Every structure is written in structure tokens, then in C-alpha cells.
Structure 1
Amino acid sequence: MSEQAPTPETPTPAEAIPGGVVNPATPPATPEQQPEAPAPQGEEGTAPKPVEPDYRALYEKMQADLDATRERSTEAGVEADELRAQVAQLQEQALRDRIAAEYALPPVLAALVQGGDEDTVRKHAEALAAVAAPKPLLGAGGLTPHSEPDPYKGLAEKLRQRRYGI
């Protein structure tokens, strides 16, 4: 009779963990259910060589990313230039509106105020204000060249008001 060497049994979770409790629903492990040892890799049992990354694909991907970033940068620069132009235009308009308000120009004439800097705008607004200022009516009270002034007209009116209280 030949005696066989005892096979080592795999411990159950309750045996492997100190203080563990056996689950009654868990059947005991049999030698057929035990996991197999990993097979040796390669001829010498060493790990396989790491795969070299595809440097060409990485380069092309990075080049595409760089091109996309440059394109977005160019678009952002163009948009920034447009916004700067709008800001400058709005600042000039605000300056013209403020100075037109200082000279009490009506809206029709305020829209005509021109100039790039404050001094030019002020001079132009002043010229428009001189044109837009109300002029005294000529011809009332004998001030027109073709009529004779009546010095007694005002005096007669005052006397009449005193006498009749009108």
C-alpha cells in the first residue's frame, strides 16, 4: 500500500479570519474549487515587457490640440479688439452727451456735437450753444430801424393802472 501525502486544505473564511463566524449556507471548500496558481509568464516567469507608447500618435494629438488652441486664441484676440473699439466709441459718445448737457443743448443739437477729445468737443458744443441760444425779439418797443420809438407808451400804461387799478 502506498500512502499518499495529505493535501493542504484551503481554510474557510471563518478559519482564515480570527474570530470569524461560519455562515451555515456556505458549503465547505473542496480541492476542485480552489483557485489555480497563476501560470508563469514568459519563458523565465518574468512580467512581460511594457508596451512602448505610440509617440507619433501622441505628437499628432498634441499638435492638433496646439492648433485648436492657437485658433481659439486668434478668435479671442479679434473679439477683444472689437470690444475695445465698442468701448472707445461708447466713451466718446458719453463725453459728447455730458458736454452737450453742460451747455443745455436740445437733443437735436446734442446729436450734432463732434470731436475726439474733450477740448474739441467743448469748442463745438459752445459754437452750437451760441447758435441755439434764444435771441431777443427785435421790433418791440421801437427798437427796429424803420419805426420811431414811443417814449410815452410805457408811462401812459402805468398811469392808467394807478388810476383804474386794472
Structure 2
Amino acid sequence: MIGSLSLTPLSLQFINNCHENIKNTLANFHDNIVNTFQEDTMFLKLHAPDDYINYLLTAEFRTTLDHNDYRNLQQYKRGLQGKGKFYNLIKDIKGIVCLWDLVLNINGEVQYNFLIISNKRIIHIDIKNYSGIYHYQDGNFQNESGYVHQGLISQL
């Protein structure tokens, strides 16, 4: 039959449990936000490196990393340094709720460096820690040695 959906009692129980968990999570989130707007800054989520980066951080001084792993680790450290500077700038701002390094897996992975929530706005901040002289051309940033950072604008 086109357009029909058959759910077992177990499926319905699972859906109801998910709905209840989401409802409770949102209620707690709402209570935390309301209290924070009246009092202080609150980080609901801080950055935590994924398993791959944890492995690289652990292996860095124990072995010689291959070129790709070394490059990925250095890029991670530069990015974390820039994000850490931004965190230090906003951590004492009163009346906001922040999420640092939020990853959502809904029809593919989406990652937000910082989401800042106030009583009137949600602001997404994406941090890049590049140095040097860059030129913007044809929708891309190109540094003085010719390296092209493609798609930076599309990441926002």
C-alpha cells in the first residue's frame, strides 16, 4: 500500500521514549538558558578532540607521524589556538549561553565552532586561524605562496 506505515508496539515505544528524552532535554536546556540570561555566561558544551586527534596527540612525541597525520595535527593545533583565543574573549560575557564545537549528524555531519545564544538571537561564529597575506579571487582565498583555501565561505 502506497503511503502507509506499519509500526510495531516496540517501534512506537522507541519513538515515544525518544520524544520524551528530547522533550526533557529541551526543558532542561530552556531552564538553563533562562537562568543564564539573568545571571552569567554558561558554556553548555566545550571542545573535546575526537578519537583520531586524541590518537595523534598521544602518538606525537612517541613516534614519527606520517606526513598526513603530522599535517592534520598541526592544522588542528592552529585551529584550536584560534578557537581558544575566541573562547577567552567571550567566556566572561554575561547573559549568553555558548556551545563550542557542536557536531550534529542529521542527513550528514554539520559542525559549528561556536553557537552563542542570547535572549534575542542565535549567532554562529566560525573561527579560522590563518596567517599571512591573502587575496580573495573567484570565491576563494589564496595566500602569497599560491595555496588556495577553497570553499571557506561555503563552510559558514
More strand by share: 2
Of structures 1 and 2, the one scoring higher in RCO (CA 8 A, sep 6+) is 2
Range class of TM-score, shorter chain: under 0.3
- TM-score scaled to structure 2, two decimals? 0.22
Q: Which has the larger radius of gyration?
A: 1
